[in-house]
């Protein structure tokens, strides 16, 4: 390795070491407790039922009509839907037909991240459309339209109950669909 390579590598190591040294690691707790809960000691617990209700509310607001009312508690395979995505910073909740606890997919933020990952110089990317189709009982295929400087890019994702790990595939830029 060249001296230049060594210098850059060593600099990364030193900076990360400083951060790691300053990261407080408290005593092990099981199950873990988020810092915000530990600090505020909120009386109400974050129950799954509350989460479902909040998600249903978000979906209702996003669609204009309630998802649950529109397609029943469990959407059928092949059902299509569209989410109005007006914000690039707020989560866009997308239902997945898991029977007991429908998780949400932060589709807008994730699509923008995917867009910027593939094309780092995109200017002011923002999500203009999210359409999806249920592919089986637990998964949904989403297509997210990211608009930037008058051009649109479609990104696809297969969402499942394991929503913490998302794999996005990019699409070519093209005209923006109305």
Footprint on this chain of other proteins (rule: CB under 8 A): 3-5, 7-9, 11-20, 22-26, 28, 30-36, 48, 51, 89, 91, 101, 103, 106, 109-110, 112-113, 116-117, 120, 161-162, 164-167
Instruction: Report the residue number, 78 or 167, with the smaller CB distance to other proteins.
Output: 167
Instruction: Report the residue number, 165 or 178, with the smaller CB distance to other proteins.
Output: 165
Q: How far is the CB of 168 from other proteins (least distance, A)?
A: 11
| CA–CA separation, 107 and 142 (whole Å) | 8
Q: How far is the CB of 63 from other proteins (least distance, A)?
A: 22
Q: How far is the CB of 120 from other proteins (least distance, A)?
A: 8
All residues at 6 or more sequence positions from 106 whose CB lies less than 8 Å from its CB, including other chains? 91, 92
Q: How far is the CB of 178 from other proteins (least distance, A)?
A: 27
Neighbour order of strands in the sheet with 126-134: 80-83, 126-134, 140-148, 151-159, 168-174
Residues 44, 50, 55, CA angle at the centre, nearest 5°? Answer: 140
For 101-126, letters b (16+ CB in 10 Å) and e give ebbbbbbbbbbbebbeeeeeebeebb
Instruction: Report the residue number, 20 or 78, with the smaller CB distance to other proteins.
Output: 20
Instruction: Report the residue number, 106 or 135, with the smaller CB distance to other proteins.
Output: 106
């Amino acid at each position: 390795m060249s001296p230049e390579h060594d210098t850059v590598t060593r600099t990364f190591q030193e900076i990360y070491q400083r951060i790691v040294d300053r990261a407080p690691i408290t005593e092990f707790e099981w199950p873990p407790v988020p810092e915000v809960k530990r600090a505020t000691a909120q009386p109400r617990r974050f129950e799954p039922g509350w989460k479902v209700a909040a998600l249903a509310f978000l979906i209702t607001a996003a669609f204009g009509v309630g998802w649950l009312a529109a397609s029943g508690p469990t959407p059928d395979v092949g059902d299509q839907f569209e989410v109005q995505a007006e914000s690039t910073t707020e989560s866009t909740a997308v239902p997945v037909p898991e029977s007991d606890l429908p998780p949400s997919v932060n589709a807008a933020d994730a699509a923008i991240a995917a867009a910027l990952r593939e094309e780092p110089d995109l200017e002011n990317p923002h999500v203009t459309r999210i359409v999806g189709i249920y592919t089986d009982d637990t998964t949904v295929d989403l297509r997210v339209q990211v608009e930037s400087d008058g051009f649109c890019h479609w990104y696809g994702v297969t969402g499942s109950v394991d929503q913490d790990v998302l794999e996005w595939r990019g699409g070519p830029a093209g005209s923006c669909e109305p």
